[in-house]
Structure 1
Amino acid sequence: MTEPASVSSSIPSTATGAPSRLRGKAGAITFGLVGYLFFVEFVSGVLQGYYVPLISDLVAYLGIRDADFNWFEAAQLLLSALVVPVLAKLGDMVGHKRILLISTVLTAGASWWLVFADTFWVFLIAWALQGFYVVWLPLEVALIFDRGRRTDTGASQTRRAAGYLVVALEAGAIAGALGGARIFAAFNENVALTLSIPAIAVTVAFFVIWFGVPESTPQPGRRLDTTGFVLLTIALLTVTSGLTFLRINGPATWWVYALMAAGLVLLYPFGRWVLKHPDPAIDLRVLRQPSMWPVQLTAGLVGISILGAQAPLSTFAGTDPANGFGLGLDASERSYIIGAYLVAMIIGALLFPLVSRRTTPRVAMIAATIAVAIGYLAFLVNNATVVGVTLNMVVAGIGSGALVAALPAAAAAAAPLGQTGIATGLTNTTKTIGGAFASAVFAVVLAMTAGQAVTETASTLGSYLVVFAICGGTAVVAAVALLVVPRLAFSDAPAEIDDAPVSRP
């Protein structure tokens, strides 16, 4: 496989002699493979950042209210929570590349549909279906780990490759956020032409995967646990729907709590079923192992800050200081803080494999969760200046970037043969559920105090401090949970940790 010069030149040589060692082993992870997937994740980042500066223009184009755009985000959130476990499991069964191609086709079709959608309901359906891209990263990590499993350094190489993929993801998000508004202006504010750019990018990504990415080795004799996935889907749909309606309808709506409670109750028959199934949708016996459940729990807890805290942070930075807090920044000024956070995530993703190599993956993950905790808890005492807020976000961003790369790689390393896809996919699902929970709770917390400050629509400083305390506190809980992980979990050969002979975990 030919190594793309443009990608390989952008990847730092963090392991002396690694390129020659990897190319010398059949089926090993190569920089060519990572380069192709780097492009795919860059496109994924573009999809996440491109539409953000266009929201106001899309609202006007569709003739809807600003609040109606919440339905687009909610629909895509629901889809991602539902489809990732199924597609990840199918990747284990029939090949991760094949499912990656199918999800890319679905994403491309939805992206092109958005180009021609000009009504609320049509746009809503297309926007939701575009959410199939959320399974790309879990499938890519599973595919990479499948290749590296045949070498003595598969786990560490997967961590390094996952770090590069997160770099691509965040770089794409930055490029999309910066490019969306500029392309809209260059096209004379033509919405259809503007929306065609991400559709073209996803289409190109399909051919990059098709021609550049090798297939993984699926395990024979597998079958899809349809009943298990139906039960899981109903439970997740019920819980996430309740969270969505809580955010939209407010805390006074009693039936949203009944909906969430019903979803939790439905997890019981799901658990009973999969414990009896020979090839379950999710193997709970694997999930309860000390090298797996803390990883999945951490994904859900950090999803609270990674996915749920962005809107409160934006509104906090934009709050008029006349209220006694806030920075009074406009949209363009807030984008600089967001940009610093994304750059910090890139730094964290690159640092994680280095710290893992010098300590252990467990120690590196604990350090990352502590960084997230410090960043958000610092808001309790350091929130009055732009420099202070930016510093908080950079610290939290370094930890968040490391965890986004670390969690799917750790889940893949802890999973038994044939379950890497579902293990990495679950980190995405639990992170999404954590984000949905946080979005609903934070929206309620801020709405309950809206209008109590000097500015008519502003919330109080106390409500924002509650949000930041939740983000920091859940990160502390994640760090404590990771202490349960065995010391040498997710590691390669013993020489990578120390010179003492130890068996592979």
Structure 2
Amino acid sequence: MARAVASTPARPASRAVVTPGLLLALLAYVETSSGVIQGSIIPVLPAVGERLGVDAAGLNWVNICQLLSSAVCVPVLARLGDRHGHRRLLRLTVTLTALGTVLVALAPTYPVLLVGRVLEGTLSVWLPLEFAIVRDRLPADRSGPAIARLTGCLVLGVTLGTLAVGLLARLSSDPRVLLALPAVLTLVCVPVVWRWVPESDRRAAPARPDLPGAVLLTLGLAALLVGLAQGSHLGWASVAFAAFMALAVVLLGTWAAVELRSTAPMVDLRFTCRRDVAPLYLAALGIGVALFGTQSAMATFNAADPGLGYGFGLGTIGVSLITLPTGISQFAGAWLHPRAARSLGAARAVAAAFLLAAAGYALLAACHAAIWQVVLATVIAGIGVGAVIAGLPVMVVAAADRADTGIASGVYQVARNVGGSTAGAVFAAVMTALPAAGATGRPSAGAYVTIWLICTALLLLGAALLATTPAAHSRD
């Protein structure tokens, strides 16, 4: 990011002494809670819609509101954290998210549910803010592994959230009971962050807010994400979908031009285009596809009636259980990545993880007739994906100025989310275009194989991108 001189104020007196180990444990709890929130909402949405009388189209907007809120909040709040204090913004967003989880759980009406989801969107900036705090407060040799493991806690939380609501559903079908779990976990995060998480010292140089950049980026991402989310309803070949995509291109292109001319841009595009950084952001798009884009496809494949020629006919609990090894393997990959990075070097370790993930998806495309085959393939892919999502942000953070850690990792987060959103839309189109013979509205086995092969190709491209970075030619 911009290499402006950052101020370093005196460290304020802390109300509690927090050791590096305790700080990591506290933030690990916060990120696991974030994952539980994200993993628990999707399985419960049908029950929420039934309780509030909302149809499938209305429930789609429940997810769109969260996506839009995330797209707006991550770059804006990450930059504010760099300039005004990362703990200050983490406190704000944790409090807003806690309020959102309560509103989502208890929502008496559809509009209240949407407000809750908008507030929950602020949790997407937690990781960038935490990365900045960790980088500032932990010794240099511990900050990288800590960042990797916080990412692992997030993916583990997603899996635990999905599994937990599936098990709770056997005791109660009331969505208010099911969504009480993420609400309680997040409410506990509020005193944790306010009482024990220390403030970072580094600050970006004072500057006027980049309002034009913030507005253009917000509108551009909104047009892109809404268009992708509504593509199946609008029609992929419709004028409306094309208009959304054209508007996104115009707005984001204008935003890029404005940022390049600004003396204090919200996002320093010259930094993002550096030879050692651009491949990381491009690779983030690819790993977003593998991490987020295949979630719905895997769930529908495992739940499909075997009479279609594929699938296992699993119910909600069965689908949750078959995905549990994937989440655990992603967590293991993230936890083990620091050791691989010490042995191979950061770039080589991430490139190797991309190759392992690609091998897992290739195996899945070739062998998926039995549950054990699917579990084996997704565990292999999960270890690779977990290591990638742990290692990429460490490299991004290391390349950025300390005072710009928040926005650098925030842009990475946005890139990964955009990759997942794009993949979700593309894969939905693939499943529509390749229907099963004699089963209206059901995708064929070939549709799933196509999706897994797309993931394989993008993961191989990610490995190639990492090989182009200067770090790939050293062991540092």
Per the TM superposition, whether the score is higher than 0.5 is: yes
* Residue 393 (structure 2) aligns with: 408
Alignment of 1:10-29 (within 5 A): none
Q: Which amino acid aligns with 2:268?
A: D
Residue 454 of structure 1 and its aligned partner are, at CA, apart by 4.0
Do structure 1's residue 118 and structure 2's residue 108 form an aligned pair? Answer: yes
Which of 455, 471, 478 pairs up with 2:455? 471
* Residue 164 (structure 2) aligns with: 179
Mean Cα displacement is larger for which, 39-48 or 325-334?
325-334
CA distance in 2, matches of 1:422, 1:198: 27
* Residue 5 (structure 2) aligns with: none
Conserved 8 A contact 1:247-1:439: no
CA distance in 2, matches of 1:194, 1:317: 23
CA distance in 2, matches of 1:449, 1:243: 19
* Residue 10 (structure 1) aligns with: none
Alignment of 1:26-45 (within 5 A): 30-45=20-35
CA distance in 2, matches of 1:168, 1:273: 37
CA distance in 1, matches of 2:314, 2:186: 34
User: Which runs of no fewer than 5 residues in structure 2 stay unpaired?
Assistant: 1-16
* Residue 107 (structure 1) aligns with: 97
**CA separation of 1:439 and 1:98: change in aligned 2, threshold 3 A:** same
CA distance in 1, matches of 2:86, 2:304: 45
CA distance in 2, matches of 1:59, 1:221: 46
Which of 243, 247, 250 pairs up with 2:235? 250
CA distance in 2, matches of 1:51, 1:366: 33
State how many pairs are aligned.
459
CA distance in 1, matches of 2:431, 2:184: 39
Do structure 1's residue 295 and structure 2's residue 274 form an aligned pair? Answer: no
The residue matched to 1:307 in structure 2 has which SS?
A: helix
Residue 403 of structure 1 and its aligned partner are, at CA, apart by 1.8
CA distance in 2, matches of 1:422, 1:47: 23
* Residue 260 (structure 2) aligns with: 275
Do structure 1's residue 321 and structure 2's residue 341 form an aligned pair? Answer: no
Alignment of 1:169-208 (within 5 A): 169-183=154-168, 189-208=173-192
Conserved 8 A contact 1:50-1:177: yes
CA distance in 1, matches of 2:106, 2:296: 29
Which of 132, 139, 163 pairs up with 1:142? 132
Residue 193 of structure 1 and its aligned partner are, at CA, apart by 4.6
* Residue 466 (structure 2) aligns with: 482
Do structure 1's residue 350 and structure 2's residue 335 form an aligned pair? Answer: yes
* Residue 370 (structure 2) aligns with: 385
Conserved 8 A contact 1:250-1:444: no
Residue 29 of structure 1 and its aligned partner are, at CA, apart by 7.8
Conserved 8 A contact 1:306-1:435: yes
Do structure 1's residue 160 and structure 2's residue 150 form an aligned pair? Answer: no
Alignment of 1:60-139 (within 5 A): 60-66=50-56, 68-139=58-129
Residue 428 of structure 1 and its aligned partner are, at CA, apart by 0.9
Conserved 8 A contact 1:223-1:279: yes
The residue matched to 1:328 in structure 2 has which SS?
A: coil
CA distance in 2, matches of 1:291, 1:399: 22
* Residue 226 (structure 1) aligns with: 211
* Residue 8 (structure 2) aligns with: none
CA distance in 2, matches of 1:431, 1:113: 27
* Residue 422 (structure 1) aligns with: 407
Conserved 8 A contact 1:61-1:118: no
Mean Cα displacement is larger for which, 452-461 or 201-210?
452-461
CA distance in 1, matches of 2:26, 2:385: 24
Residue 139 of structure 1 and its aligned partner are, at CA, apart by 1.2
Mean Cα displacement is larger for which, 283-292 or 174-183?
174-183
CA distance in 2, matches of 1:127, 1:143: 26
Do structure 1's residue 212 and structure 2's residue 202 form an aligned pair? Answer: no
**CA separation of 1:264 and 1:341: change in aligned 2, threshold 3 A:** same
CA distance in 2, matches of 1:441, 1:178: 27
Do structure 1's residue 359 and structure 2's residue 334 form an aligned pair? Answer: no
Mean Cα displacement is larger for which, 135-144 or 46-55?
46-55
Q: What TM-score, normalized by structure 1, do the two folds share? A: 0.86
Mean Cα displacement is larger for which, 173-182 or 479-488?
173-182
* Residue 371 (structure 1) aligns with: 356
CA distance in 1, matches of 2:178, 2:449: 38
Conserved 8 A contact 2:18-2:196: no
CA distance in 2, matches of 1:240, 1:195: 26
CA distance in 2, matches of 1:479, 1:181: 35
CA distance in 2, matches of 1:395, 1:376: 8
Which of 301, 305, 317 pairs up with 2:290? 305
Q: Which amino acid aligns with 2:448?
A: Y
Residue 359 of structure 1 and its aligned partner are, at CA, apart by 1.1
Residue 184 of structure 1 and its aligned partner are, at CA, apart by 5.4
What is the aligned-residue identity percentage? 34
Alignment of 1:443-454 (within 5 A): 443-450=428-435, 452-454=436-438
CA distance in 2, matches of 1:253, 1:339: 38
Q: Which amino acid aligns with 2:84?
A: V
Conserved 8 A contact 1:302-1:475: yes
CA distance in 2, matches of 1:481, 1:179: 37
The residue matched to 1:224 in structure 2 has which SS?
A: coil
Conserved 8 A contact 1:408-1:425: no
CA distance in 2, matches of 1:419, 1:333: 44
Residue 84 of structure 1 and its aligned partner are, at CA, apart by 0.4
The residue matched to 2:357 in structure 1 has which SS?
A: helix
CA distance in 2, matches of 1:181, 1:479: 35
Q: What TM-score, normalized by structure 2, do the two folds share? A: 0.91
Mean Cα displacement is larger for which, 247-256 or 284-293?
247-256
Q: Which amino acid aligns with 1:41?
A: E
Question: What CA deviation, in whole Å up to 9, does each residue of 1:25-72 have, x standing for no partner?
Answer: xx9981121111011112112212233442332222112234542221
Which of 41, 55, 64 pairs up with 2:45? 55
CA distance in 1, matches of 2:152, 2:229: 30
CA distance in 2, matches of 1:468, 1:182: 29
Mean Cα displacement is larger for which, 375-384 or 436-445?
375-384
CA distance in 2, matches of 1:477, 1:248: 31
Question: What CA deviation, in whole Å up to 9, does each residue of 1:250-307 have, x standing for no partner?
Answer: 3242221221122112222212211121211111111111221111111111111111
